Structure 1
Amino acid sequence: MYDRILFPTDGSDAARAAKEHAFDHARQYDAELHVLYVADTTKYSTVTFEEGVADVLEEEGWEVVDAVADEADRSGLDVVDVVVQGRPHQQIVEYADEQDVDLVTMGTHGHSGLKRTILGSTTERVLRESNVPVLAVPAGETDGE
């Protein structure tokens, strides 16, 4: 049923709750797990150093993605780790389409300064625009709770 599962993460508590669901579905369906971090380039994200310019958000993204990918790998899952730049909801939807993802699993609240009453704004936009099913996991929910 699911060959490729997309887990967009920003390292937040909501993403950590959704991670367990993404891992469980990947195990259950023997699916490839795509771990995606979107460095939000709609915000100022560069810092100048003596040797040039580094994108701080992208560096943070790799730290978040690498940690999840390492855990997935240790769990025996096939994992693809990706960091991209852009508007988070647009990049998530585009990535799902381009990679022929079967399911997107994400938390309902992330690092956004403005949170919706029920869903995080990024999750809400992905739900509206996605061409594939989206599993929206409430912050704090993990399997067995």
Structure 2
Amino acid sequence: MLELAEAGLSRHVQREPEDDHLVNYLNKVAKPYRQEGLTVETVVMEGTPARSILDFAEAEEVELIVMTTHGRTGLRRWVYGSVTEKVMRGTNAAVLIIRPNEVQSN
């Protein structure tokens, strides 16, 4: 699991106070999966989302990237771009895209 903050990698390195909030959030999200016996690594990074995801995936030789999407269309997508699309175009790894409402309904 990867949480991104705007603007280096702070993986058990000197962390800022706001990083503690992100680490706590990620550990809370990861807890049920860990209780099921899955190995879950959480990482807090700074930078633009797409570039950070791509850099991490390449450095860690990730084979599968799972992402949710906001589902922006039209002008909003053109103005903001699409992190998911940038990741899909920038990686050789498989990318699984899940819409947030699909996650909640299961």
Normalising by structure 2, we get a TM-score of 0.73
Q: Report the Cα distance in structure 2 between the residues aligned to 1:123 and 1:55, rounded to whole angstroms.
A: 28
Percent identity of equivalent pairs: 32
Aligned residue in 1 for 2:82? 121
Q: Report the Cα distance in structure 1 between the residues aligned to 2:72 and 2:105, rounded to whole angstroms.
A: 26
Q: Shift in Å at residue 59 of structure 1?
A: 3.0
Q: Report the Cα distance in structure 1 between the residues aligned to 2:73 and 2:21, rounded to whole angstroms.
A: 27
What amino acid is aligned across from residue 39 of structure 1 in structure 2? Answer: A
Q: Shift in Å at residue 69 of structure 1?
A: 2.2
Aligned with residue 25 of structure 2, among 40, 60, 64: 64
Q: Report the Cα distance in structure 1 between the residues aligned to 2:103 and 2:5, rounded to whole angstroms.
A: 25
Aligned residue in 1 for 2:66? 105
Q: CA RMSD in A?
A: 2.4
Matches within 5 A, 1:33-112: 35-41=1-7, 54-56=16-18, 58-109=19-70
Equivalent pairs counted in the alignment come to 93
Q: Report the Cα distance in structure 2 between the residues aligned to 1:139 and 1:68, rounded to whole angstroms.
A: 15
Gaps of 5+ in 2: 8-15
Gaps of 5+ in 1: 1-34, 42-53, 110-114
Choose between structure 1 and 2: higher helix proportion.
Answer: 2
Matches within 5 A, 1:8-23: none
Q: Report the Cα distance in structure 2 between the residues aligned to 1:87 and 1:143, rounded to whole angstroms.
A: 27
Normalising by structure 1, we get a TM-score of 0.55
Secondary structure at 2:102 match in 1: coil
